Amino acid sequence: MKTINSKIPHIILAATLLTCVSCSSPQPDTPEKARIGVACYNQSDTYIRQLTNCLRDQFDQRTNENDQLALTMTLRDAAGSQRNQNDQVKELLDAGCSILCVNLADRADPSEIIDLAREREIPIIFFNREPVAEDMMQWDQLYYVGADAKQAGRMQGELAAAAILADAQADRNHDGKIQYVVLEGEPGHQDAIIRTEYAVNTLIHQGIQLEKLSCQIANWNRAQAQNRMMQMISQHQNQIELVLANNDDMALGAIDAYKKLNVTESVLPLFFGIDGTDVGLKAVIDKELNATVYNDKEGQAESIANLAVSLITGQGTDDISFMNEKYIYLPYFKVTADHVGEFLER
Ligand code: BGC
Ligand code: CA
């Protein structure tokens, strides 16, 4: 593990703080101010909305705890458009942000944002939507905070396998196979295909015989998932025994579809999500969602905030451990009804 170069000469704040320490001059009465620009791909995304709330809490908390530092977070919502986001990033830079946290609208198209930030020597912390490795190499002041999609998929597969093995009725038609459907996230997103692949392979690895009935893209979205699920139900009626969704919102959309059709409980499939959003956890408590995988938004927000403050002040970067000098991946956790309470308290 390597740590990053902790010097960012252009940030006056760092110099000011260091001067105060080195000459032990009296601490200033008024705190140093720093503005943090956060650009997110879409605030209508449940998980992203909660993650950015956590991020705001983190910056507020640091401001409250440290009277030398006043951090102001400015949030911009690209509503799904990379073009909007490029304009918003330009505005954030013009407004004097000393750090950018970027949740790309199009993870394959960060070049314009990187160029804008590099011209002004403002570091970027990308989060949740990972740029491709080649783009991350464009400049040494680019970082990424996220989680490992393979782990999420593997955990979802383990949770599903455990539930199937524990329930003789899971194979409702008793043909020795589990008929399943998949609700997949946005095409091209690092979390979509990989989560599915690892979930399915884990189930197979655990000795579950699977039969895939259908896989539909619902772009992380609850309403779209409900729609796709209605189509799949009309096609396969009560043959579906398992629904694997790449996130909680889509799993909840699938549950919505069954509710709308008034399907009796005895022919409901098992449902699995990923995220542990507030609504996802509630569905686990209510035993509607069999289990989910916690996508640690609090941990990710804390890592983003730690890194941002280190880059702003030039202090503490040595304590951060990176993978390949610029990546931070937080672990996922399995969530079942047995211990869902732990996650509600976060
Ligand atoms: C989350 C999804 C979210 C997506 C947005 C994923 O990691 O699991 O719920 O919609 O990120 O980029
Ligand atoms: Ca079956």
pLDDT tier, 9 (very low <50, low <70, confident <90, very high otherwise)? very low
Q: Report the chain's mean pLDDT, rounded to a whole number.
A: 92
* Ligand 1 atom, smallest distance to 129 CA: 12
Q: What are phi and psi of 73, to 5 degrees?
A: -100, 125
Mutate which of 130, 196, 295 for ligand 1 pocket (most atoms within 8 A of beta carbon)? 295
Amino acid 93 reads L
Confidence (pTM): 0.92
3-state SS assignment for residue 234 = helix
The helix (run of H) or strand (run of E) holding residue 52 is helix 46-65
Ligand nearest 170 Cα, by number? 2
**Which is higher by pLDDT, 23 or 174?**
174
Ligand nearest 275 Cα, by number? 1
* Ligand 1 atom, smallest distance to 146 CA: 7
Q: Is the pLDDT of residue 213 over 60?
A: yes
Q: What is the pLDDT of residue 318?
A: 87
When pLDDT is averaged across residues 50-59 and rounded to a whole number, the result is 98
pLDDT tier, 19 (very low <50, low <70, confident <90, very high otherwise)? very low
Query: Percentage of the chain with pLDDT > 70?
Result: 91
Least confident of 17-31, 129-143, 159-173, 277-291: 17-31
3-state SS assignment for residue 335 = strand
Q: What is the pLDDT of residue 20?
A: 41
Q: Would you mind telling me the total number of residues written for the chain in this entry?
A: 346
Phi-psi region of 30 (alpha: psi -120 to 50; beta: other; left: phi over 0): beta
Ligand nearest 177 Cα, by number? 2
When pLDDT is averaged across residues 276-292 and rounded to a whole number, the result is 98
Q: How far is the CA of 240 from the centre of ligand 2 (A)?
A: 8
Q: How far is the CA of 146 from the centre of ligand 2 (A)?
A: 36
When pLDDT is averaged across residues 65-75 and rounded to a whole number, the result is 94
Q: How far is the CA of 325 from the centre of ligand 2 (A)?
A: 47
Q: What is the pLDDT of residue 54?
A: 98
Q: Is the pLDDT of residue 286 over 70?
A: yes
Q: Which residues line ligand 1 (CB under 6 A)?
A: 45, 47-48, 128-129, 189, 191, 220, 247, 274-275, 295
Query: Percentage of the chain with pLDDT > 90?
Result: 87
How far is 89 from 97, CA to CA, in rounded Å? 10
Ligand nearest 184 Cα, by number? 1
pLDDT in tens, 88-113: 999 999 999 999 999 999 999 999 99
Q: What is the pLDDT of residue 345?
A: 87
* E strand intervals along the chain: 32-40, 69-77, 99-102, 124-127, 142-147, 178-184, 210-217, 242-245, 270-272, 291-295, 327-330, 332-336
pLDDT in tens, 138-159: 999 999 999 999 999 999 999 9
Task: List, in order, residues 6 or more apart from 69 with CB less than 8 Å away.
Answer: 31, 32, 34, 62, 63, 309, 313
Is 224 exposed, middle or buried (CB count within 10 Å of its CB: 0-12, 13-18, 19+)?
middle
Amino acid 143 reads Y
Q: How far is the CA of 196 from the centre of ligand 1 (A)?
A: 14
Mutate which of 247, 272, 274 for ligand 1 pocket (most atoms within 8 A of beta carbon)? 247
Q: Is the pLDDT of residue 12 over 90?
A: no
| The 124-127 sheet, strands edge to edge | 69-77, 32-40, 99-102, 124-127, 142-147, 327-330
Contact in structure between 298 and 52 (CB atoms under 8 Å) = no
